[in-house]
Structure 1
Amino acid sequence: MDKNQPATHSTAWTWTAALVAVFMVAIDTLVVTTTLPVIRTELGATLEDLEWIVNAYTLTFAVFLLTGAALGDRFGRRKVFTIALVVFTLASGLAGLAEDINYLIAARAVQGLGAAVILPLTLTLLASVVPARQRGHAFGLWGAMVGLGIALGPVIGGAVTEAWSWQWIFWVNVPIGLLLLPVMARVRESRGGYGKLDPLGVVLITAGMLGIVSSLVRGNSAGWGSASVLAGFIVGGLLVLVFVFWQSRAQTPMVPLRLFRSRGFSLTMVATILMPFGVFGAVFLGTQFLQSVLGYSPLEAGLRTLPWTAMPMIAAPISGILTDKIGGKPLVILGLTMQAIGVGWIGAVADDLTYSKLVVPFVITGLGLGIFLAPIGRLAFGFAPAELEGVASGVSNAIRQTGTVLGVSVGGAILGVHGGYESTATFVEGLQNAHLVAAIALGAGAVIALFIPHLRTQGHGHAVDDEEESVPAGAAA
């Protein structure tokens, strides 16, 4: 790239790369959901297998987000982003070739690895070219692209599955990834002030989360009191605790614990994990409900999720503008409250087996999601020192993906305990219990968000807690 290239020209390419890439990654969040019943039939997949198809992606996504952000800060965001884009594109092609459930799960795990690096770097690349006072608007557009990907994911998955086969849903990413590569060559390189790696931390948190999630997924089949399931919970939990201890001692921690000295950042992260826990566990079961219970085809089911999944495209940009004007806290509270109402409402009317009764709660839940996306990202950045923007982005997104993993795992576990695929009645019973738990979690998140401090600006557009002493911001990322 020409070093004399005008900054505005590079900024345009950065916007293009960041928004298209986050759209591609967002598609894969839900593109597989409308194909799960077809995969279950064609590959003889169990409920555990279906959970792993989703969780293999989101688990590697969650764990390696932190490393991805640090790699970008250290070696250059453009360079690392480009490598991750190649990994994601190749893994998508491998998933498209899958004819075996274990092969598919493995390919999804590699896909998640690429996505884990791409997602936080889309935010930090934008932050490197957008003035701090305009970041709410920028994050609103970023959230809109996330919403667009989420909205179109089930529809694309359903349409492609009906037109060709479920394997082709993954090939959608390949041309997008290939077209982005020449765009990345025109993006200006940038680095952050952190950029430290923590290999032992990666191993500890990966093993710990794998143990916990594996036990959640296997609990129904192996027995919740079985030695293997209990061992997974105990060993996994201990490894997570060891990870936290190591972060307080490591010279180059994945997660600098000083981030959590800010009450605002800590409470923002609690809200961050509760939102996907409630929403995406509900989505995992809801898309199957539309096909397995209401009898819609994959495309019909995808289209019928649009009152839910398309709403973030409308709400996120507006929420981003409002974030700049009134701050993020009230919007986070409103978004979580609307999602709690919507998810609880869906569960309450599911036994009527009538799609029309789902439309209003779908809309409420989708609007709540869109309202939530922009301000939560702005709060995560706002409570972090400037030199830790990259790692704060990684922590925020990792925690959100962890919430998705736990939501899908707990939702599947509740379905297995209280229901199942044996009949309409058993599936609906399991879904209703899962949605009740999800709604309670979202409501708890709204209550917790009430205690997030307001922000006051501190140089360079950064913000700190009103109630707390400022942490020196350091150099801008």
Structure 2
Amino acid sequence: MTALVWTIIESAKEGLSHPSTRISLVLAVVCLVSFGFWEVRTAHPMVPLALFRNRVFSGASFSLVLLTFANGGLMLILTQYVQFVLSYSPSKTGLAFAPMAVASPAFNGIGATLGNRIGNRTMTAIGPVIIAAGFGALASLPSNAGFALLSGAMVLIGIGGGLAMPAATGALMGAVPAEHAGVGSALNDTVQQAGAALGVAVLGSILSATYTGAMPDSAPEQARESISDAFALADASGDHGSADAAREAFTSAMSAGFWAGAAGVLAAAALALILMREPRSDAPAADPDQADTNELAVAAGTAN
């Protein structure tokens, strides 16, 4: 993961042609392939890869990765937007996230209840669509957005997350056989952490590259690299025009990042619909006496 995140961030700055980026990319691929090879061959794998043969388990896992991918980028980008572009204090910045923090747990119970009634697949698809609407609203914010517009977008993201996360987690754990319950719980945490790390790397790279491209060519190199540096230089020189240019450039970069996040959560909805197909109620239960370990993992997941 370290090599992969490094590759994503550095490729946005130097491109894949840079020697260090190529080395980190090769290292990431070698580590991933080696891990998979070892997990398939060892008698006691840390991650039983046979679990991913279950469509529900795979769909829930990939959906969780994409959901946390978007949320990881959200925290990185929006914090800078409200503090640098909207000039919020740290306390008011915390209040800007409060609508999402309230809406998400409020709808967690609703999401879990509806998941039991209409199916985790449906809820895992509906939630990301609502989150995408919230990201679209954030992407459309101007450089002088009011608190009400910002709060409305955050409420949408909180509602979508509250509906989707319990359903996706419930589907993932429901697809794991009892003997792999600990593995399932650990994988649930791991895929979310991996998604958040990738979200910061990918969406942060989009933000950085778009910001630099949107800044005037006449701006100092340091100001083109970071909005905080642009503000520091503007304060030192008294050039308020360059600070305004940095605000507009960052707003454009934020829009690009959030549209990418919206695409990610819509992909999560699509994966849920394609992979997390509800099992037939009349499907015969698996006989554990006639199945080996890998087959039992798949069969038990389908029965669940």
Tell me, in whole angstroms, the C-alpha distance in 2 between the residues paired with 1:292 and 1:237: 37
TM-score for the superposition, normalised by structure 2? 0.78
- Equivalence map 1:201-350=2 (5 Å): 209-350=1-142
TM-score for the superposition, normalised by structure 1? 0.51
Tell me, in whole angstroms, the C-alpha distance in 2 between the residues paired with 1:259 and 1:350: 45
For the pair 1:436 / 2:259, whether they are aligned, the reply is yes
The offset of 1:297, in angstroms, is 0.6
Corresponding residue for residue 393 of structure 1? 185
Corresponding residue for residue 453 of structure 1? 277
- Contact 1:327–1:455 (8 Å) recurs in 2: no
The offset of 1:368, in angstroms, is 0.3
Unaligned runs of 5+ in 1: 1-208, 460-467
Corresponding residue for residue 288 of structure 2? none
The offset of 1:355, in angstroms, is 3.0
The offset of 1:300, in angstroms, is 0.6
Tell me, in whole angstroms, the C-alpha distance in 1 between the residues paired with 2:128 and 2:3: 29
Per-residue displacement from partner, 1:20-67 (whole Å, max 9, x unpaired)? xxxxxxxxxxxxxxxxxxxxxxxxxxxxxxxxxxxxxxxxxxxxxxxx
Per-residue displacement from partner, 1:47-106 (whole Å, max 9, x unpaired)? xxxxxxxxxxxxxxxxxxxxxxxxxxxxxxxxxxxxxxxxxxxxxxxxxxxxxxxxxxxx
SS of 2:155 mapped into structure 1? helix
The offset of 1:405, in angstroms, is 0.2
- Structure 2 residue identity aligned to 1:302: G
- Equivalence map 1:48-447=2 (5 Å): 209-419=1-211, 420-421=226-227, 422=230, 423-447=246-270
Corresponding residue for residue 98 of structure 1? none
The offset of 1:470, in angstroms, is 7.6
SS of 2:68 mapped into structure 1? helix
- Structure 2 residue identity aligned to 1:410: V
- Structure 2 residue identity aligned to 1:360: G
Distance 1:473 1:386, change over 3 A: farther
> Would you say how many aligned residue pairs link Structure 1 and Structure 2?
258
Distance 1:361 1:408, change over 3 A: same
Identity over aligned pairs, percent:
28
- Structure 1 residue identity aligned to 2:6: S
- Structure 2 residue identity aligned to 1:291: Q
- Contact 1:350–1:432 (8 Å) recurs in 2: no
- Contact 2:121–2:272 (8 Å) recurs in 1: yes
Which structure carries more relative contact order (alpha carbon 8 Å, separation 6+)? 2
- Contact 1:213–1:405 (8 Å) recurs in 2: yes
Distance 1:384 1:350, change over 3 A: farther
- Structure 1 residue identity aligned to 2:278: H
Tell me, in whole angstroms, the C-alpha distance in 1 between the residues paired with 2:10 and 2:297: 45
Distance 1:358 1:389, change over 3 A: same
Corresponding residue for residue 13 of structure 1? none
